[in-house]
Amino acid sequence: MRIPILLIHGAFSTCQHFAGWVDFFSRAGFECHAPALPAHPTADPRALASLSFPEYLMVLKEQLKNLVEPPIVMGHSMGGLLAQQLATVAPCRALVCVASAPPWMLTAQMRALPFLLPLMPAILTGGPIHLPETTLRYLAVHDLPEGEQRVLLPTFTPESGRAYRSMILGLARLPGKPFRGPVLCLSGAADRIISNRTSKAIARFYGARHEVFNRGHWLIASSAQQQVAGSVLHWLETILSRTV
């Protein structure tokens, strides 16, 4: 029986951004699931305006009903915070936080403020947030090859202002006791969204292994797959060998 992996995408993202990881871990023998968060496949602004973390978490909990055993849960960015939340309310085998938001207030880096301040009206009112291409280029994909950036940029979606507000204000707390199984935290040394200080603090919170890559926020990029997903696979093989 193959061990299931649940991959959770982040804000302004879709499940297709994890397609490379689904293929990578499927070829390694895992059963991969990458659900779409509500309203993200269609980028429906009206639906996004009514959504926040409880609705996202409910959908993820429903996904677990289709699995025959507890999964390894992996999440990127906001998806990392959702992964942490899910691991407090449902059985999980292991937790992997990839450039993850913390379960407390997410403090913006100074260099990101000029790009975030224009978004504050939508964030404060809870309306859908649309990120301009210049913001995505500077904050999310700046370290990727230009060709990869051009392919990625049209695939980003709007995000719920309510969900984003909960994340940055520290209102998306863990709904239960922190997960105490194996945890791996990955971060990018050049990440302009999640600071290394934040990533280190998450790792300390869980007593987790912390690996830092000389990359930006988009650690799930195709160009980073062998390095980053490969490192996750090595870690998984190590912890799973201890349970056999």
pLDDT tens per residue across span 183-234 = 999 999 999 999 999 999 999 999 999 999 999 999 999 999 999 999 999 9
pLDDT digits (tens, 9 = 90+) for 90-133: 999 999 999 999 999 999 899 999 999 998 888 888 888 999 99
| Mean pLDDT to the nearest integer, 21-36 | 97
pLDDT digits (tens, 9 = 90+) for 44-88: 777 787 889 999 999 999 999 889 899 999 999 999 999 999 999
By C-alpha distance, which of 211, 20, 186 is closest to 99? 186
Alpha helices, DSSP H, located in the chain: 19-27, 45-48, 53-64, 78-89, 113-116, 120-125, 133-139, 146-152, 161-168, 196-206, 225-243
| Mean pLDDT to the nearest integer, 128-148 | 96
- Separation of alpha carbons 215 and 139, rounded Å: 12
User: Which residues form the domain of 123?
Assistant: 4-243
pLDDT for the residue 121: 87
pLDDT for the residue 12: 95
| Mean pLDDT to the nearest integer, 2-15 | 96
Structural domain count, the chain:
1
- Separation of alpha carbons 99 and 194, rounded Å: 6
pTM given for the model? 0.96
- Separation of alpha carbons 144 and 119, rounded Å: 24
Residue 233: phi and psi, rounded to 5, are -60, -45
CATH (domain of 154): 3.40.50.1820
